[in-house]
Amino acid sequence: MKVISNNFLETKRLGKQLADKILSCKNKPIILSLRGDLGSGKTTFVQGFASALGIKKKILSPTFVILNKFKIKDRFFYHIDCYRIENIKEVKSLGLEEIFKNPNNIVLVEWGEKIKKILPSNTIKIKFEFLEENKRKITYEEKDICSD
Question: Mean pLDDT for each 10-residue chunk of the chain (148 residues)?
Answer: 95 95 88 94 95 90 79 93 83 87 96 93 95 94 68
Q: Are 139 and 47 in contact (CB under 8 A)?
A: no
Flag whether the pTM goes above 0.95: no
- Which amino acid does the sequence have at 87? N
* Residue 65 belongs to some domain of the structure: yes
* Residue 145 belongs to some domain of the structure: no
Number of domains in the chain: 1
CATH of the domain at 67: 3.40.50.300
